[in-house]
A = this chain, B = another copy of it.
Amino acid sequence: MDLNSYISGFSDGEGCFCVSFNFRNKLNTGLEVRPSFSISQHQNNLNLLKLIRKQFNCGSIRYSKRDSSYKFEVREISQLNGKIIPHFIRYPLMGIKLNDFRKFKQICLMMKSNLHRNLSGLQTIINLAYDMNHGKRKYSKDVLLKRIAR
A residues neighboring B (CB under 8 Å):
1-14, 41-42, 44-45, 47-48, 51, 90-92, 94-96
Check B44 against A96 for contact (C-beta < 8 Å). Answer: yes
**5 sample A-B contacts, Cβ–Cβ < 8 Å, listed by A number:** A3-B94, A5-B6, A13-B13, A42-B96, A44-B96
Min CB distance, A13 to chain B, in Å?
A: 3
- Could you say how many copies of this chain the assembly holds? 2
Residue of B nearest to A12 (CB): B10
Known: A6-B6, A6-B9. Contact between A45 and B96, CB under 8 A?
yes
Residue of B nearest to A8 (CB): B6
Min CB distance, A100 to chain B, in Å?
A: 11
Min CB distance, A115 to chain B, in Å?
A: 30
Of B1, B9, B92, which is within 8 A of A10 by CB?
B9
Measured between beta carbons, the chain B residues less than 8 angstroms from A91 are 1, 6
Residue of B nearest to A39 (CB): B13
